[in-house]
Amino acid sequence: MRRFDRRLLAIAGIVLALVTFVALNVFGALVLRPYRLDLTETRSFTLSPGTLRLLGSLEEPVVIRLYASDQLAERNAFLAAYARRVEDMLRAYAEASGGKITVEVVDPEPYSEEEDRAVGFGLQPIALDDGNTVAYLGIAGTNSTDDVDVIPLLSPDRERFLEYDLTRLVYNLAHPEKPVIGILSGLPMSGDPAQQYRPWEIYRQLGQLYDLRWLGGDIAEFADIDVLMIVHPGSLSDRTLYAIDQFVSKGGKLMVFVDPHSEAAAMRMQRPGAAPTSSNLDRLFAAWGLRFDKDKVVADPTAARQVQFPSGDRMQIVDYLVWLALDRNHLSQTSPITAQLARVNVASAGAVALADGSNLQFEPLLLASPQSQLVAVDKVNFFPDPLALIKEYRPEGEARAIAARISGILKSAFPDGPPEGVEKREGHVAEGSAPATLIVVADTDLLDNASWLASQSLLGQDILIPVADNSDFVLNALDHLVGSEVFADLRGRDVALRPFTRIAELRRSAEREYRAKERQLLDRLKELEDKLRALQLPEGDQQPVLSAEQREEIARIRSDILETRRELREVQYALRRDIETLQAQLRFVNIAAVPLLVAILAVAIALVHRARFRRRIETAAVS
């Protein structure tokens, strides 16, 4: 009877445990859903202070409609799970807004009015199965004045940027009057012939936040703009230079991109009207107290990106010292423009600095290390040789600013008034009465898609995935100049490219050793070829007659070549061995370590319970 009671008690305990488990899950789903513990390194699932400030300051109601087809749950569980996470995020926005944001989840069934409305908003359809079924996963937001902003397609690949996209949508609806950015550019940012006249991605993102005005021709005055953005200026007229000078001297905000060698311009040189590869504002910079050398580019082995380069009869992976991936060690951690960023890519960039005797305030934003070197631009102009740059590299011990924020009283480049031929206007300023603010970037390639985006196909759509924070840097800088820093806490929280820095350092260290030995081998080969040519007879087809000493010399050199090649193989083997060992350790930690710890903990708990049970039995037996 006692054994029967124990069996009933065990069954009842199991049933009670199952009921408790289900009840706790239901309770958690209904009550605890808004509460989360975010354990990610970059706090990817926690609303940032910038978002909370924006949501707390909303004055007008905003309606956000999440168009998520129910067919996703039946046909694509991965997208359905992502749709639920997006809905959770939107609910968090609504709760933080104090009722100003209303969230509606809509199922746009085929041939329904809701589907027509989704199409009218411009949402992109998703082809499921073999293309016979169409679904939607996108967002459309409206405000009280019927302004509309949309996210046409919610891609799981952009989940790490979901908060930025949602906050940008809310910001646009809450601030329908956008700041005006005037763009004076020598590069085809608004419609690139090399990309079927599509705008650059940075230009498209700027258009989401600002009212863009494309400027051109001979400009007499910059009126009704909040920030002037100059990109790779060509040969500007005196009238335009004077207009820029007076705009900045009178307190206008300026962001300027110049370049000793623009890779983007070089790629487009064959097209009519292409911009030159170098740009400068030398007359204005000289008057303002800035120094920019248009004949030098920055080389920095601590940030060099790797490229493929033919060496001998095979392709090699080498460090290209003038293509830089600037990580946190090269970004200012005290400026809100760059403090939240992880990586900015530049190519053949120059350096900007204050001129001797300048009284301006100079704050570096993008910075090359003290191991950097200034290299003549003609070494990277037409047929750059990464191996030659490595061989000729000499550190100069000076950290150089690739981008900087500059402020102070500016002196006009036209102290005596407008230049000849320019109409005189009232209010000429020979020296500013209030501090001016400008941001100077000595590189234009960071704006080009190729520098910071990778293309990936998803559901029949080409998705551009950021591998660097280039656009975030530009947007943060413009927000700083405009005075709106809502997005500073959001941008750069994560990027698609998260390299293993230890592995990269191992590879770079071995590469340096390998390249040095490879260069020695190539030099020896050249020396051997020169000696063989010197031994050839000047006339006829007779074979050269070599002395015993010459044959011994050639044999010795060939023996040295074989020995060097053996050493190269050893270096390569050591490189692969170190990297593979570290990768194996990382795989173990990520895959096996946690289950192993759980198993060890379970065994330990079982042993403790068994020891306690045995002690109770022994105590009962004694009593």
CATH number at residue 100: 3.40.30.10
CATH code: domain of residue 200: 3.40.50
Phi, psi at residue 291, to the nearest 5°?
Answer: -125, 125
Residues 181, 183, 187, 189, CA torsion sign: positive
Cβ-contact 227, 179 below 8 angstroms: yes
pLDDT at 537 over 50: no
pLDDT for 518 equals: 62
d(CA 283, CA 504): 42
Inside any domain, residue 384: no
- Dump pLDDT digits (tens) for 86-140: 998 899 899 999 899 999 999 998 889 999 999 999 998 888 766 667 889 999 9
Inside any domain, residue 16: no
Q: How confident is the model at residue 496 (pLDDT cuts 50, 70, 90)?
A: very low
Q: From the CA atom positions of the chain, what is the Rg in Å?
A: 32
Residues 553 and 585 in one domain: yes
| For range 390-407, the mean pLDDT | 93
In the DSSP assignment, the letter for residue 323 is E
Cβ-contact 418, 428 below 8 angstroms: yes
Q: How confident is the model at residue 301 (pLDDT cuts 50, 70, 90)?
A: very high
Structural domain that includes position 154: 49-158
Inside any domain, residue 19: no
Inside any domain, residue 315: no
- Dump pLDDT digits (tens) for 308-337: 887 666 677 888 999 999 999 999 988 878
| For range 157-167, the mean pLDDT | 81
**Range in 258-262, 275-279, 610-614 with the lowest mean pLDDT:** 610-614
pLDDT for 29 equals: 67
Residues 261 and 195 in one domain: yes
pLDDT at 484 over 90: no
Average pLDDT for the chain? 82
Inside any domain, residue 239: yes
Identity of the highest mean pLDDT range in 95-104, 415-424, 596-605: 95-104
Residues 566 and 464 in one domain: no
Cβ-contact 222, 243 below 8 angstroms: yes
Q: Into how many domains does the chain fold?
A: 3
- Dump pLDDT digits (tens) for 337-388: 888 788 999 999 999 999 998 999 999 999 999 999 999 999 998 788 898 8
Residues 462 and 511 in one domain: no
Angle at the Cα of 443 from the Cα atoms of 182 and 446, rounded to 5 degrees: 80
pLDDT for 32 equals: 67
| For range 287-292, the mean pLDDT | 94
| For range 212-237, the mean pLDDT | 91
- Dump pLDDT digits (tens) for 442-480: 999 999 999 999 877 665 566 788 899 999 999 989 988
Inside any domain, residue 454: yes
Residues 280 and 413 in one domain: yes
155 or 232: which carries more pLDDT confidence?
Answer: 232
Residues 414 and 469 in one domain: yes
pLDDT for 143 equals: 92
Residues 516 and 486 in one domain: no
In the DSSP assignment, the letter for residue 421 is T
Phi, psi at residue 324, to the nearest 5°?
Answer: -115, 140
Residues 478 and 516 in one domain: no
- Dump pLDDT digits (tens) for 172-220: 898 888 899 999 999 999 988 877 788 999 999 999 889 999 998 888 8
Residues 492 and 518 in one domain: no
Q: How much is the pTM?
A: 0.64
Residues 257 and 404 in one domain: yes
pLDDT at 523 over 60: yes
Inside any domain, residue 211: yes
Inside any domain, residue 9: no
d(CA 46, CA 31): 19
Cβ-contact 419, 238 below 8 angstroms: yes
Instruction: Determine whether 125 is exposed, middle or buried from the number of CB atoms within 10 Å of its CB (0-12, 13-18, 19+).
Output: buried
Pick from 436, 53, 34: nearest CA to 250: 436
pLDDT for 576 equals: 63
Residues 149 and 186 in one domain: no
d(CA 347, CA 297): 9
Residues 141 and 76 in one domain: yes
pLDDT for 494 equals: 52
Pair of tokens at residue 485: 């820093």
Q: How far is CA 419 from CA 219, 433, 445, in A?
A: 14, 21, 32
